[in-house]
Amino acid sequence: MARDDARRPPATLQDVARDAGVSLATASRTLNGSARRVKEEYRARVLAAAERLNYAPNLQAQAVARGRTNTVGIIVSDITDPYFAQIAGGIIAAAEAGGMGASISVSGRDPEREVQLVSSLRGLRPAGIVLVGSRVTDAAVTARLETQLRDFEAEGGHVVLVTQAGLPFDTIAFDNVEGARALAARLATAGYARAIVLAGPERLMTSRERADGFLEGWAVAKHPADAGPFEDTLDVPVVHSEFTRAGGYEAMGRALADHGRPDLVFAVTDLMAVGAMARLREAGIEPGRDVAVAGFDDIETLRDVTPGLTTVRLPLEQGGIAAVDLILHRTGSQSLMRLPAEVVVRESTPAGVEHE
Amino acid sequence: MARDDARRPPATLQDVARDAGVSLATASRTLNGSARRVKEEYRARVLAAAERLNYAPNLQAQAVARGRTNTVGIIVSDITDPYFAQIAGGIIAAAEAGGMGASISVSGRDPEREVQLVSSLRGLRPAGIVLVGSRVTDAAVTARLETQLRDFEAEGGHVVLVTQAGLPFDTIAFDNVEGARALAARLATAGYARAIVLAGPERLMTSRERADGFLEGWAVAKHPADAGPFEDTLDVPVVHSEFTRAGGYEAMGRALADHGRPDLVFAVTDLMAVGAMARLREAGIEPGRDVAVAGFDDIETLRDVTPGLTTVRLPLEQGGIAAVDLILHRTGSQSLMRLPAEVVVRESTPAGVEHE
DNA sequence: GTGAAAGCGCTAACAG
DNA sequence: CTGTTAGCGCTTTCAC
């Protein structure tokens, strides 16, 4: 059956004004909070006309006239990853609560793509851009990203980075280093001897921060007398792979082959930890009994794995909300907000539990 | 430190044209795929100027001039729920691949809010709106939703519903009924006797479809001679709760109290199934050993729970992609695409496994 | 208070 | 092929 393709154009402000018998200006003023007030009689007529014509303001036109949209542009690495979904959820909710729309793009963890996305987002003239995800070690692409973001701010936009500090913009930073350090300290003193770290891609700062924090906390706890951590962490192997379940699985296999069975596996991500557990079982090693496993993030949908995964909880949604807050109430100066991490010990590291 | 708040306005097409020494039209034509071609010399000059001025086209202005944006508006119930995240991921990826932006709103599972969101999305003049989530039984709010969507189409927009058929728009429907029916048949013949269903809110069609499909499949398998399923399903209790892990937990508790221990628990959602398993354990009943449990969706991050959850897999991402496809290549007539469901038997229903 | 009119940045006839 | 020009729908001075 052919669809009703009337293409009746949407009612415009013109239409409303004409229908109400007032000027364009008056209609505009009553239909959106202008500073000036309109006589009640006209107001009512305009409102009635708008209702009757089912008028919806053309946001694009408004944006063109005003020079900026009431929108926040979100860039995440992967919306399918619960870590990002949680943060994005916070951003979207806060944006809607603040009367703003949200547009979203996915970079697929590609830094180049991230730069591209910022560039095209700029065309949307959003009030702000929230860039969520790990920064990378590559200085060249970071420089290009910074240029794009600077340009956006020069145009009057507001940039907020969510994840870690380092670039000259407002940022919400999760305390990866301190969280990993605390986790390591807790587990080191609980009695585990040989640890191994399953890290993400080397270029990702988030992976580095977590791995380094862990190594540092581990070294300090094991050799409290020593000053520098470097000598002492040499005995904790670090294996790199992707930031996914599959990555954890793969890294665990490699780790077992290259370094034998450890007492404790620290995966820099819950997703990786779960992959690692699967790989361990496949090798006949039972996580939580034969070997301890810890992750990072405290992903909600992963809280039901067995054994319960020891991890570090991050206030992800809160981070998203805070980012929008910064956009809504922009201050004159660059601000940095550190969000705390909290160690959560569960049965995957039984010695840690007893050590409570 | 005070921020560099120069507010240098972004370069406009005017600026580029002037800088390149060509007309506005020429600049416009080279900078965005117009049908017409531009002499190579001018082309180069314009491109260079654009590069030099760091020009980014004002998408709002383009939209105003063209009458429509190159955007798809997404409405989901909850981006934090992996079910929706997966679908949204498909939509966003497909949109970007098709050169479109994506704007996203979250309804929080509130049908009223959904209507509101469609209404304000209309203001964005997106090429299409993809409405993802269960339809509801409430006729009044459904009528209002339909009105909004019709208006949007009358204005030249394109509506795609993802989840189930029933409204007069293009839709991508997951085969909930058939999937649940197949699951029930498989498990009923595997030897389970007393079943119980943990359903979502009664008004949600998705919950109904899955519960009804299960009851039907169960009845047919148990009493193949009978024609009507109604008499025969009376012995399978249905308990309702929220569409979340907490909902599953709560419903399971109530089910145990009201109906005693079943042989098989079917939760209409993996999330609910996992909550139910937790509640069972708390009651000293071990899922997969003392009682069988099955879910629906085959959520990726839930594939690592123990025992492995028997469930029905839905091509979620594919559904999102198909929706965008419909927007990109709109046909004249209303189309309905049914996406198949696939039963996945794991250790949470051991009899089902053996029965392979 | 109200309305006329000049933009906002871009597109798309239309004429050369 | 190029340039001129009239819009797109809305905001916002600026007179009244």
Q: For the segment B243-285, what is each residue's pLDDT rounded down to a tens digit? A: 999 999 999 999 999 999 999 999 999 999 999 999 999 999 9
**Closest alpha carbon within chain B to A276:** B304
Closest nucleotide to B23's CA, by C1' atom?
A: D3
Q: Which CATH architecture has domain B176-313+342-354?
A: 3-Layer(aba) Sandwich (3.40)
Q: What letter would DSSP give residue B301? A: G
Q: Which of B63, B89, B120 sits opposite A80 (nearest CB)?
A: B89
B68 CA to C6 C1' distance (Å) = 25
Q: Are the C-beta atoms of residues B312 and B343 closer than 8 Å to each other? A: yes
**Closest alpha carbon within chain B to A87:** B80
Q: Residue B222 above 80 pLDDT? A: yes
From chain A, pick out residues whose CB is under 8 angstroms from the CB of B60: 60-61, 63-64, 69, 124-125
Q: Say if B68-174+317-339 and B176-313+342-354 have the same CATH topology.
A: yes
For chain A, the structural domain boundaries read: 13-57, 68-174+317-339, 176-313+342-354
Q: Tell me which nucleotides of strand C come within 7 A of a protein CB.
A: 1-5, 7-13
Please name the amino acid found at residue A282: E
Q: Are the C-beta atoms of residues B310 and B348 closer than 8 Å to each other? A: yes
With CB atoms and an 8 Å threshold, state whether B7 touches A102: no
Residue A325 CB-half CA count within 13 A: 13
With CB atoms and an 8 Å threshold, state whether A155 touches B8: yes
Amino acid A4: pLDDT = 46
Interface with A, mutate which of B80, B96, B252 (most A CBs under 10 A): B80
Q: Residue A355 above 70 pLDDT? A: no
**Using 50, 70 and 90 to split pLDDT, how confident is the model at A18?**
very high
What three-state secondary structure class fits B304?
coil
Distances (CA, A) of B145 to B76, B141, B150: 14, 6, 9
CA distance B257 to A250: 44
CA distance B25 to B30: 9
Adjacent-strand bridge partners of B75: B105, B131
Amino acid A199: pLDDT = 98
Q: Judge whether residue B39 contacts strand C, using its CB and a 7 Å cut-off.
A: no
Q: Which two tokens stand for residue B218?
A: 């169960």
Higher pLDDT, B267 or A68: B267
Span B63-75, mean pLDDT?
A: 92
Closest nucleotide to B31's CA, by C1' atom?
A: C10
Amino acid A258: pLDDT = 97
From chain A, pick out residues whose CB is under 8 angstroms from the CB of B61: 60, 64
Q: Which two tokens stand for residue A243?
A: 């930031």
Q: Give how far A317 is from chain B: nearest CA, Å.
A: 10
Q: Which of A104, A301, A305 sits opposite B102 (nearest CB)?
A: A104
User: What's the CATH number of domain A68-174+317-339, 3.40.50.620, 3.30.565.10, 3.40.1670.10, 3.40.50.2300?
Assistant: 3.40.50.2300
Span B199-208, mean pLDDT?
A: 97
Q: Note the Cα A156 to chain centre separation in Å.
A: 23
Q: Are the C-beta atoms of residues B241 and B272 closer than 8 Å to each other? A: yes
Please name the amino acid found at residue A289: R
Interface with A, mutate which of B60, B107, B120, B122 (most A CBs under 10 A): B60
Q: Are the C-beta atoms of residues A197 and A239 closer than 8 Å to each other? A: yes
User: What's the CATH number of domain A13-57, 1.10.3720.10, 1.10.260.40, 3.30.360.10, 3.40.50.10190?
Assistant: 1.10.260.40
CA distance A221 to B195: 53
Closest nucleotide to A29's CA, by C1' atom?
A: D11
Amino acid B352: pLDDT = 82
Q: Which of B3, B88, B278 sits opposite A304 (nearest CB)?
A: B278
pLDDT, one tens digit per residue, over A227-267 is: 554 444 458 999 999 999 999 999 999 999 999 999 999 99
Q: What letter would DSSP give residue A27? A: H
pLDDT, one tens digit per residue, over A303-329 is: 999 999 999 999 999 999 999 999 999
Amino acid B220: pLDDT = 92
Please name the amino acid found at residue A317: E
Amino acid B331: pLDDT = 83
Q: Are the C-beta atoms of residues A30 and A17 closer than 8 Å to each other? A: no
Q: Residue A179 above 50 pLDDT? A: yes
With CB atoms and an 8 Å threshold, state whether B245 touches A4: no
pLDDT, one tens digit per residue, over B1-23 is: 334 444 578 899 999 999 999 99
Q: Residue B33 above 90 pLDDT? A: no
Q: What is the pTM of this model?
A: 0.94
Q: Which of B279, B318, B278 is nearest to B298 (CA)?
A: B318
CA distance A214 to B182: 48
**Closest alpha carbon within chain A to B244:** A301
CB-based contacts of B331, cutoff 8 Å, min separation 6: none
Closest nucleotide to A37's CA, by C1' atom?
A: C1
With CB atoms and an 8 Å threshold, state whether B332 touches A2: yes
Residue A37, number of CB atoms within 10 A of its CB: 9
With a pLDDT cut of 70, the percent of chain A lying above it is 94
Amino acid A354: pLDDT = 67
First to last CA, chain B: 68
Q: Which two tokens stand for residue A31?
A: 């239909």
A35 CA to D16 C1' distance (Å) = 20
Q: Strand pairing of A128-132 and A158-163? A: parallel
Q: In what order do the strands lie in the sheet with B101-106?
A: A336-339, A170-174, A158-163, A128-132, A71-76, A101-106, B101-106, B71-76, B128-132, B158-163, B170-174, B336-339
pLDDT, one tens digit per residue, over A42-58 is: 999 999 999 999 888 99
